């Protein structure tokens, strides 16, 4: 298990938010933490600690008046640490190389591929052809409905009919290098992990997968290792000391290496 750090950018600032509270209307969200530092600061910190494969997420919609400010923050971070970080938020086949050329190792995609409750295979194939499977991460962030977990899109505001299970993981792995999965119901709430999500992902475990959502203690990390079968990497957000939480980043790195 590795720590995959995050830089979430909303309205041009690095923040930690409650994922389920994010709304495009008014560019609003319930905030856990707003940093006085820019995104490049955190990118440098992660590089100094040797943390590769973290993700930058632009949380504003592409038509938001804040979108370009948030993207500019992301690009500053990417240019500080070429090849270290992934980036997501409004990624399409048309703009993906803007981020890759700025230093992203991968682009992370959800809404461009999962549209109107279904998989847009034309966009998925187009994106793979444009950037190559080796530069693509599919974000399968999901939430529970009737005991099953379905992918959510548009900054976690819209449910799809696409379930996260063995069949879909097998299918989508043909198109990408990694998966990123936020358990949206617990994202930003520091209320513990979604053990069922971890089990689904860990039982499959054929390509790198990063789990995010709910981690607030070292017991959560141990639980994630157990339910994920040791196959999942982890993102810690609001609980991290650099984001105002009580878990020291160096201690998390050490725990993940066990």
What element of type H or E holds 171? helix 166-172
pLDDT of 15 reads: 80
* Both structure tokens of 40: 């490049």
Domain ranges of the chain: 6-257
pLDDT of 224 reads: 96
Could you report the per-residue pLDDT of 142-184, keeping only the tens digit for each? 999 999 999 998 766 788 999 999 999 999 999 999 999 998 8
pLDDT of 207 reads: 98
* Closest listed residue to residue 77, CA positions, set 115, 45, 117, 122: 45
CATH class (in words) of the domain with range 6-257: alpha beta
* % of the chain exceeding 90 in pLDDT: 76
pLDDT of 188 reads: 54
Put the strands of the sheet holding 54-58 in their side by side order: 31-34, 13-17, 6-10, 54-58, 85-88, 106-109, 136-139, 178-182, 209-212, 232-235
**Residues of the chain scoring pLDDT < 50:** none
DSSP 60: S
Task: Check: CB of residue 95 under 8 Å from CB of residue 102.
Answer: no
pLDDT of 133 reads: 97
């Amino acid at each position: 298990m590795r720590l995959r750090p995050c830089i979430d950018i909303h309205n041009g600032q690095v923040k930690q938010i409650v994922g389920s509270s994010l709304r495009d209307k008014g560019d609003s969200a319930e905030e856990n933490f707003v940093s006085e530092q820019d995104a490049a600061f955190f990118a440098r910190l992660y590089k100094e600690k040797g943390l590769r494969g973290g993700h930058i997420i632009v949380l504003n919609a592409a038509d938001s008046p804040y979108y370009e400010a948030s993207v500019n923050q992301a690009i500053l971070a990417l240019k500080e640490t070429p090849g270290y970080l992934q980036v997501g938020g409004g990624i399409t086949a048309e703009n993906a190389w803007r981020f890759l050329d700025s230093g992203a190792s991968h682009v992370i995609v959800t809404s461009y591929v999962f549209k109107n409750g279904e998989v847009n295979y034309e966009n998925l194939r187009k994106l793979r052809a444009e950037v190559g499977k080796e530069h693509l991460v599919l974000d399968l962030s999901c939430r529970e409905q009737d005991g099953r977990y379905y992918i959510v899109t548009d900054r976690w505001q819209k449910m799809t009919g696409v379930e996260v299970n063995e069949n879909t993981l097998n299918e989508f792995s043909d198109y990408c290098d990694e998966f990123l999965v936020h358990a949206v119901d617990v994202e930003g709430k520091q209320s513990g992990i979604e053990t069922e999500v971890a089990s689904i992902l860990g039982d499959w475990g054929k390509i790198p997968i990063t789990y995010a959502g709910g981690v607030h203690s070292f017991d959560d990390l141990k639980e994630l290792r157990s339910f994920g079968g040791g196959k999942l990497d982890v993102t810690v957000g609001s609980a991290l000391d650099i984001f105002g939480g009580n878990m020291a980043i160096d201690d998390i790195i050490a725990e993940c290496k066990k």
